[in-house]
């Protein structure tokens, strides 16, 4: 599957395309399939999100899992500071990333 | 310490106003990211993996308690309660919001700080010796010269769009504590026939093509220094490779045309610019120098010290260095707790260090390129009180220059350029070698980790260096040995095939075990490596 991601313009937060908007949670991301490039162009034109780009991912029981470690770290947060991640209370969150 | 005059303050204030308007235009959609990116970078604002990152300049690593407290305030109010001190003697905040950045810069301006020229293809923050003004081996305080270069280079219209970023370092001691030879221009102040001048080195750097700088001139009279630097930059600006970002640094120019031809062109340019009045009048230099006068030391300060507390005694031996003034000492605060994040300090810790600097060190602190903090002028009689306060704040790790005093870049946990994580590896290594007895037995051992080939973690200059690479989507770590950023400068050599994260920790242990087997009495790791050679250690690593 393909996901569309970028950084929210005012906050810089990592965001994922949900089909009708942007979410901070990769679990909400949808497969953009062959439409990815056109959504990217439209969203970049709307200037809501910084440097959007398309990535490869796989569907898992926990939701979409980005193929590259860099995007998995983006999806959760720094691996050595669980308190700064999106799931500070989940002790297993880091294992999903690495 | 230097204090802004009305011109300094005005240009910083105006820059805040200018950037506030640029941010407004970006948020309104008036500017595209392509248009805005060079503007934000000129103000130190990057976009990293999770958020915007703001890099704040700490000129030549010197700041006072008020400025340090402001950094703590920014960490607390605008970030997530901490800051990261960098190998450029600066500080970075990792969780900044674009819409709040102008307010942050405005707050910084109230304490004579900014983020100007902490990014972009311009002359970056000038770096210097963290022991300046306190070291017994210096011929002069390098900071007035660093400040003069800061003023000369700030918004220099000719050097705002150089082929690539440009880093200058000024030292004035035999011991190089600032990796001077690994800068685009390194300036070594020295005295010849009673006159102060500068030895000029050009073309050093790390990154993907590490090089040690060439000596271009043995002695430039201090009065001519700015003209000479102007000539050095002009030749680079004219001939530096703008067609290829990977060949755009001045080190590549020197490599391609040779140091002799570069020197010839600089001398020709110097002859042309010398009479143009670029060097400041003596009165201006004296004005700047007057800000860096020695503190009012107590000539009768006691040199006695009670070493009965063993933990305090170990810290004294490891982290406290001799001061040129009897009765005083230089305190190094390690930001490398075992298992901690190299260079990070919480807002509360920043406040503690600020207060200690104000109370015990004539209101002065320094940031080191090794990502530690220095209190440069502490009475020996106050050392126990300082240590007690640091200990209470988790800042009394007695590991300066030991294997756990690791330089590490932010790596893939934060940085959009990185290929591998640096911080978790640093934590694992420090934990493996956590015993202080073991570390002290190993002695001085500088371990440096970069998460990509850009080498922000100075791995080329590590006695042991580690470079993180991406190997088919997984992290892999190359090990190198024998580097040094000190006066015995050298570049580390790659040992062979890379390792997994755990594998590289094991490999380092095989290196240190071999060192313990073959060292002669009194030898540092680097001394032994140079004596017995690379192959001995390679054999230990790979069998």
Binned at pLDDT 50, 70 and 90, residue A59 comes out as very high
* Contact flag B421-A79 (C-beta cutoff 8 Å): yes
Min Cα separation B377/chain A (Å): 34
| pLDDT tens digits, one per residue of A69-96 | 999 999 999 999 999 999 999 888 777 8
* Contact flag A69-B474 (C-beta cutoff 8 Å): yes
Q: Touching check for B425 and chain A: CB below 8 Å?
A: no
* Contact flag B47-A50 (C-beta cutoff 8 Å): yes
Q: Touching check for B88 and chain A: CB below 8 Å?
A: no
Binned at pLDDT 50, 70 and 90, residue A98 comes out as confident
DSSP-assigned letter for residue B493:
E
* Contact flag A9-B26 (C-beta cutoff 8 Å): yes
Three-class SS of residue B127? strand
Q: Which residue of A41, A66, A78, A98 is the best one to mutate when testing the B interface, meaning the one whose CB has the most B CBs within 10 A?
A: A78
Query: Are the beta carbons of B489 and B176 closer than 8 angstroms?
Result: yes
* Contact flag B47-A12 (C-beta cutoff 8 Å): yes
Q: Say how far apart CA B113 and CA B104 lie, in whole Å.
A: 10
pLDDT reported for residue A92: 81
Q: Which residues contact B89 (CB under 8 A, 6 or more apart)?
A: B58, B60, B61, B125, B127, B128, B130, B366, B367, B368, B369
A69 CB neighbours in chain B (<8 A) are 412, 473-475
Nearest CB neighbour to A78, from listed B96, B98, B413: B413
The interface predicted TM-score (ipTM) is: 0.96
Min Cα separation A83/chain B (Å): 10
B50 CB neighbours in chain A (<8 A) are 12-14, 74, 77-78
Three-class SS of residue B209? coil
Binned at pLDDT 50, 70 and 90, residue A45 comes out as confident
Q: Which residue of B29, B33, B47 is the best one to mutate when testing the A interface, meaning the one whose CB has the most A CBs within 10 A?
A: B33
pTM score, whole prediction: 0.97
B39 CB neighbours in chain A (<8 A) are none
| pLDDT tens digits, one per residue of A5-29 | 999 999 999 999 999 999 999 999 9
If contacts are CB pairs under 8 Å, which of residues 30-49 in chain B contact chain A? 32-33, 47-49
Q: Touching check for B24 and chain A: CB below 8 Å?
A: no
Q: Is the dihedral of CA A48, A50, A55, A60 positive or negative?
A: negative
Residue of B nearest to A84 (CA): B80
Q: Which residues contact B512 (CB under 8 A, 6 or more apart)?
A: B403, B433, B442, B445, B525
Query: Are the beta carbons of B404 and B338 closer than 8 angstroms?
Result: yes
Three-state SS annotation for B135-202 = CCCECCCCHHHHHHHHHHHCCCHHHCCCCCCECEEEECECCCCCCHHHCCEEEEEEEECCEEEEEEEE
pLDDT reported for residue A62: 84
Residue of B nearest to A73 (CA): B413
Q: Say how far apart CA B85 and CA B78 lie, in whole Å.
A: 17
Q: Say how far apart CA B200 and CA B225 lie, in whole Å.
A: 9
User: How many cross-chain Cβ pairs, A to B, lie less than 8 Å apart?
Assistant: 65
Which of the residues in chain B have pLDDT under 50? Answer: none
Three-state SS annotation for B17-48 = HHHHHHHHHHHCCCCCHHHHHHHHHCCCEEEC
If contacts are CB pairs under 8 Å, which of residues 398-417 in chain B contact chain A? 412-414
Residue A66 in this model has a pLDDT that exceeds 90:
yes
Query: Are the beta carbons of B179 and B368 closer than 8 angstroms?
Result: no
Strand-pairing partners, residue B328, are B379
B341 CB neighbours in chain A (<8 A) are 80-81
Query: Are the beta carbons of B379 and B371 closer than 8 angstroms?
Result: no
Residue of B nearest to A83 (CA): B80
Q: Touching check for B474 and chain A: CB below 8 Å?
A: yes
CA nearest B230: which of B192, B200, B195? B200
Query: Are the beta carbons of B246 and B207 closer than 8 angstroms?
Result: no
A81 CB neighbours in chain B (<8 A) are 341, 413
Q: Touching check for B51 and chain A: CB below 8 Å?
A: yes
B473 CB neighbours in chain A (<8 A) are 67-69
Residue of B nearest to A68 (CA): B473
pLDDT reported for residue A47: 83
Degrees, nearest 5: CA angle B509-B413-B165 = 95
Q: Which residues contact B183 (CB under 8 A, 6 or more apart)?
A: B127, B167, B168, B169, B201, B204, B205, B213
What Rg, from alpha-carbon coordinates, does chain B have? 23
Three-class SS of residue A27? helix
* Contact flag B49-A10 (C-beta cutoff 8 Å): no
Specify the DSSP element, H or E, that contains A60. Answer: strand A49-60
């Amino acid at each position: 599957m393909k996901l569309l991601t970028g950084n929210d313009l005012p906050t810089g937060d990592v965001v994922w395309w949900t089909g009708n908007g942007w979410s901070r949670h990769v679990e909400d991301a949808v497969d953009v399939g062959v439409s990815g490039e056109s959504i990217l162009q439209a969203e970049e034109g709307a200037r809501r999100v910084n440097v959007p780009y398309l990535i490869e991912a796989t569907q898992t029981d926990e939701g979409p899992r980005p193929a590259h470690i860099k995007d998995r770290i983006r999806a959760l947060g720094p691996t050595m500071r669980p308190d700064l991640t999106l799931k500070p209370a989940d002790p297993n969150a880091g294992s999903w990333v690495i | 310490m230097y204090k802004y005059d009305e011109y300094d303050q005005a240009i910083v204030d105006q820059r805040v106003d200018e950037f506030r308007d640029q941010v407004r235009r970006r948020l309104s959609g008036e500017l595209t990211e392509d248009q805005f990116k060079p503007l934000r970078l000129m103000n130190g604002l990057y976009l990293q993996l999770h958020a915007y990152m703001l890099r704040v300049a700490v000129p030549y690593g010197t700041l006072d308690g008020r400025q340090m407290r402001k950094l703590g305030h920014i960490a607390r109010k605008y970030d997530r309660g901490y800051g990261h001190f960098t190998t450029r003697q600066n500080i970075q905040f990792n969780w900044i919001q674009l819409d709040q950045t102008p307010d942050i810069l405005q707050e910084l301006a109230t304490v004579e700080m900014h983020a100007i020229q902490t990014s972009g293809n311009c002359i970056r923050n000038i770096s210097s010796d963290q022991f300046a003004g306190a070291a017994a081996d210096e011929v002069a305080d390098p900071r007035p010269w660093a400040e003069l270069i800061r003023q000369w280079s700030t918004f220099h219209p000719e050097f705002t769009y150089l082929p690539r970023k440009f880093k200058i370092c000024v030292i004035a001691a035999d011991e190089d504590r600032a990796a001077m030879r690994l800068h685009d221009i390194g300036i070594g102040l020295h005295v010849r026939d009673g006159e102060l001048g500068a030895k000029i080195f050009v073309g050093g750097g790390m990154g993907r093509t590490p090089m040690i700088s060439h000596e271009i001139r043995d002695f430039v009279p201090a009065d001519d220094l700015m003209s000479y630097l102007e000539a050095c930059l002009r030749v680079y600006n004219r001939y530096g490779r703008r067609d290829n970002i990977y060949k755009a640094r001045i080190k590549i120019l020197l490599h391609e045309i040779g140091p002799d031809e570069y020197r010839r062109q600089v001398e020709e340019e110097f002859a042309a610019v010398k009479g143009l009045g670029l060097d400041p009048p003596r009165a201006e230099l004296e004005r700047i120098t007057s800000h860096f006068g020695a503190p009012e030391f107590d000539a009768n300060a006691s040199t006695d010290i009670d070493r009965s507390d063993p933990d305090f005694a170990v810290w004294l031996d490891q982290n406290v260095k001799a001061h040129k003034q009897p009765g005083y000492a230089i305190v190094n605060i390690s930001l490398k707790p075992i298992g901690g994040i190299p260079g990070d300090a919480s807002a509360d810790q920043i406040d503690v260090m600020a207060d200690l600097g104000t109370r015990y060190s004539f209101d002065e602190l320094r940031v080191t390129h090794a990502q530690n903090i220095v209190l440069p002028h502490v009475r020996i009689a106050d050392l126990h009180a300082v240590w007690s306060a640091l200990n209470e704040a988790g800042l009394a790790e007695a590991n300066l220059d030991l294997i756990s005093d690791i330089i590490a870049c932010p790596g893939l946990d934060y940085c959009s350029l990185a290929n591998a994580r640096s911080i978790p590896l640093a934590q694992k290594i420090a934990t493996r070698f956590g015993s202080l007895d073991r570390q002290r037995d190993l002695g001085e051992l500088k371990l440096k980790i970069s998460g990509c080939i850009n080498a922000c973690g100075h791995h080329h200059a590590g006695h042991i260096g580690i470079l993180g690479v991406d190997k088919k989507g997984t992290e892999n770590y190359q090990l190198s040995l024998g580097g040094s950023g000190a006066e015995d400068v050298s570049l580390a050599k790659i040992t062979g095939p890379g390792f997994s994260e755990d594998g590289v920790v094991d490999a380092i242990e095989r290196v240190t075990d071999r060192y313990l087997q073959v060292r002669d009495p009194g030898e540092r790791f680097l001394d032994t490596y140079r004596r017995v050679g690379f192959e001995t250690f390679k054999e230990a690593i790979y069998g």
